[in-house]
Amino acid sequence: MSPESSPPVPGSPQRSGNGRETPGTGPDGQEPPAGPETAAGPETAAGPETAAGPASPETRPEDPPPVQDAGHGGTRQVPGEAALTAHAPVSAGPPEAGRPVRHDDHAGRFGVPGLPVSRNNPFYVGFVGTIGVLTAWFLLKQFTRLSPLLILIAVSLFLALSLDQLVQTLQRRGLSRRVSVTIVLVGAVGLFSGFVSAISPLLVQQGTELIDATPELLGRLQESKLFQQLDREYGIVSQASTEIQNRLATGDTAVQLFGGIFGAGKALVSGIFSAFTVLVLTLYFLASLHAIADAGYRLVPASRRERVRLLGDEIIRRIGGYVAGQIGVASVNGFFTFILVSICGLPYSVVLAITVALLGLIPMIGATLGALVVIIVALFSSWKLAVGIAIYYVVYQQIENYVVMPKIMAKTVSVPGSVAVVAALAGGALLGVLGALVAIPLAAGALLIVHEVLVPRQDRC
């Protein structure tokens, strides 16, 4: 069979005798019905719109290929008219240059958001940079005025983080967050009130006795052989007497005495107000701690929010655990100091125990400072007793460093010794005692970020 006599294939175009192609037949041998193009004639295929009307969707030209976007340094797909009509809101303006129209481009509660300013504009860069420099300069100038308030806020926040450990413990036992916070708040306020009411009379009594006994203690110190030997070599008594006579002659002593009394009263009132402020801020921070953290996490892009949340929660856990552990270690030191002073028969046992506990909150050197206070008080009674107390504190600090501290600080903060020393020194140089208190837990958080974020990123490079 020759090619000319082969039967036509259904659906294929046929060539007529004059060389013009005709539409093929359908599966049943019938010609397909005339469409928009065939009904209007062959001229309708020349463009999307003719006198017969717009072109059908089947014959609409394809969207143009991606073009280079000079404003954003990438390629973009220029949407067709139908896409713009379908997706753009009625009240919205033209789409942003270099960005395709998205399905979520809709008017919010306060209207349609405007187009973002191009960050490549030199005016934008200069304006934002100037605002940033001025803001930093203003905050730096105001930092000295705000430093007392910032210290109270930092102390309250760290106390709230430590109490949050108790809240989480109650939550693990099946209680809700609100009930757990209420129990901890009531317990903390009750414990603080009971502690203050119990020790205040004794603290005032022993403090007054210590002030009244100061001349007698100084007399004993002058009668000691060690002091007399130092006086013979360096003339301590004569220099002190000369200084006192000069001040009495110039009249500055009364002014300084009145200023000292007024300053002491002012410091007492300020201390009471600061303690009350810390208590109130701690309660508020503890009640809204998770809300504050969630508000901070919302500022992070959604693609990274979960990872930032996990890292932030771990940092909060470590800081809270460190503060709670440090309070526990200092309390143990104060408790054993009270027992030691009571056994040795030294006065002012309550005052000394509280002093040692408060100084024990200072990392690295707090326990040593507390021990020196007790040793100095013991020197007024007997140098042999002072030596015995010094030996006790040397032994106790070894037990604290290798037994008590690892037990209490387990699963809270893991910081190398060198990093802890450098962090405590740097924090103390910047913010004093408060800086030394917060430096080690902040260093622990920084090490966590380094191990979990920076090191894996460098390993992938």
331-384 tens-digit pLDDT: 889 999 999 998 988 877 887 888 888 888 877 788 888 899 899 888 877 888
Q: Can you give the pLDDT at residue 339? A: 92
Q: Can you give the pLDDT at residue 393? A: 92
In which band, very low, low, confident or very high, does the pLDDT at 47 lie, cut at 50, 70 and 90? very low
Q: Can you give the pLDDT at residue 105? A: 52
Residue 69: name the closest of 61, 78, 60 by CA. Answer: 78
In which band, very low, low, confident or very high, does the pLDDT at 141 lie, cut at 50, 70 and 90? confident
Q: Is the pLDDT of residue 34 over 70?
A: no
432-456 tens-digit pLDDT: 777 777 788 888 888 888 888 888 8
Question: How far apart (Å, rounded) are the C-alpha atoms in residues 439 and 456?
Answer: 25
Residue 369: name the closest of 361, 309, 129 by CA. Answer: 361
Q: Which residue has the tokens 């481009």?
A: 105
Q: Can you give the pLDDT at residue 249? A: 57
Q: Is the pLDDT of residue 329 over 70?
A: yes
If you average pLDDT over residues 317-324, what whole number do you get? 79
In which band, very low, low, confident or very high, does the pLDDT at 392 lie, cut at 50, 70 and 90? very high
Alpha-helical segments (H) within 173-213: 177-212
199-218 tens-digit pLDDT: 777 767 766 776 777 777 66
Q: How far apart, in Å, are the Cα atoms of 66 and each of 62, 73, 80, 159?
A: 12, 13, 12, 58
In which band, very low, low, confident or very high, does the pLDDT at 264 lie, cut at 50, 70 and 90? low
If you average pLDDT over residues 154-173, what whole number do you get? 85
Angle at 431 between CA 321 and CA 280, to 5 degrees: 55
- Taking the C-alpha atoms of 202, 203, 209 and 214 in order, what is their torsion angle to the nearest 10 degrees? 160
Question: How far apart (Å, rounded) are the C-alpha atoms in residues 317 and 289?
Answer: 12
Question: How far apart (Å, rounded) are the C-alpha atoms in residues 346 and 106?
Answer: 77
403-420 tens-digit pLDDT: 777 776 666 666 776 777
Question: How far apart (Å, rounded) are the C-alpha atoms in residues 22 and 277?
Answer: 94
Instruction: For residue 160, count CB atoms less than 10 angstroms from its CB and return exposed for 0-12, middle for 13-18, buried for 19 or more.
Output: buried
DSSP 245-300: HHHHHHTHHHHHHHHHHHHHHHHHHHHHHHHHHHHHHHHHHHHTHHHHHHHHHHTS
Q: Can you give the pLDDT at residue 390? A: 92
Rg (CA), the chain: 41
Helix (H, G, I), strand (E, B) or coil at 16: coil
Pairing of strands 53-54, 67-69: unpaired
Q: Token pair of 47, please?
A: 């463009």
Q: Can you give the pLDDT at residue 265? A: 66
Q: Token pair of 347, please?
A: 């006065």
DSSP 223-251: HSHHHHHHHHHH-HHHHHHHHHHHHHHHT
- Per DSSP, the chain holds a count of helices (H) and strands (E) of 16, 6
Question: How far apart (Å, rounded) are the C-alpha atoms in residues 312 and 94?
Answer: 40
Residues 340, 333: contact at Cβ < 8 Å? no
For the chain, percent of residues with pLDDT exceeding 70: 64
Residue 215: name the closest of 203, 223, 205 by CA. Answer: 223
In which band, very low, low, confident or very high, does the pLDDT at 14 lie, cut at 50, 70 and 90? low
Contacting residues for 10 by C-beta, under 8 A, at least 6 apart: 24, 25, 26, 27, 29
In which band, very low, low, confident or very high, does the pLDDT at 51 lie, cut at 50, 70 and 90? very low
If you average pLDDT over residues 424-438, what whole number do you get? 77
57-112 tens-digit pLDDT: 444 445 555 544 444 444 444 444 444 444 444 444 445 545 554 545 556 677 77
Q: How far apart, in Å, are the Cα atoms of 348 and each of 46, 105, 199, 339, 353?
A: 107, 72, 12, 12, 9
Q: How far apart, in Å, are the Cα atoms of 143 and each of 154, 352, 369?
A: 14, 35, 30
Q: Can you give the pLDDT at residue 48? A: 43
Helix (H, G, I), strand (E, B) or coil at 339: helix
